[in-house]
Amino acid sequence: MLTPDTERQLMQTAQSLSGMSLGELAGKLDVRVPVNLNKEKGWIGLLLERALGASAGSKPLPDFPELGIELKTLPIDRNAKVLETTFVCVAPLTGMSGVTWQTSHVKKKMAKVLWVPIISERQLPVAERIICTPFLWQPDAEEETLMQADWQELTDMIVLGEVEKISGKYGEVMQLRPKAANSKVKTSAFDKHGRPFQTLPRGFYLKTGFTQHLLNKHLRID
């Protein structure tokens, strides 16, 4: 697909996919549909990126760099209940001194997001999962304040050498979790004495309560 030149063009293409099954979309793009997503967790996102002409690839930029828009799929059930947390970006565990919220990857990624809800109940075969109406979101002042507070708390813990203490209970709307294909993948971090050690890579994730709030706001559900 061609990279969209304008926000309007991107939204029109995204809206044209609404109601389509993943199998139908994959057929149009001549893409193989996996039997399950156990070993291909990012497959749905990659399919949508291809369909919409995302160009960032694996670079630490929004998926549509020219438009400053990130693409995120949102797995929901038939009752519009969000089913899982949303990966934002990998969390750097070293070189964090001097990094601020304003210069962080999280802020850049979350500045403007095209959300594509997908009915993804576990019992539904991948090919039969349905793309729902997309919506464009920019955080309002309150939403950004919540994300910033969590980012600051989690980043402070990383800088202070307490990454191993961080669990899913930290953060009101965003959490830090291991992000690796398997437990053999390691990355460098520092302990509280400033000594380097190897640990699992971590990623920032939006909690389901927050993405549910965004979806409800879009659907105008109180």
Compute the half-sphere exposure of residue 166: CA atoms within 13 Å on the CB side of its CA: 29
Instruction: State whether the Cα torsion 179-108-210-34 is positive or negative.
Output: negative
3-state secondary structure of 35: coil
CB 49 within 8 A of CB 186: no
pTM, entire model: 0.92
Measured distance between the N- and C-terminal CA atoms of the chain, rounded to whole angstroms: 37
Non-local CB neighbours of 16 within 8 Å, separated by 6+ positions: none
Q: What is the pLDDT at residue 177?
A: 93
Q: What is the pLDDT at residue 57?
A: 67
Tokens of 138: 């920019």
Query: What φ, ψ does residue 130 adopt, rounded to 5°?
Result: -110, 135
Query: What residue ranges of the chain have pLDDT lower than 70?
Result: 1, 56-60, 181, 222
Return the CATH class of domain 7-219.
alpha beta
Instruction: State whether the Cα torsion 41-106-94-150 is positive or negative.
Output: negative
CB 106 within 8 A of CB 87: no
pLDDT in tens, 43-73: 999 999 999 999 866 666 789 999 999 999 9
Q: Which amino acid is present at 57?
A: G
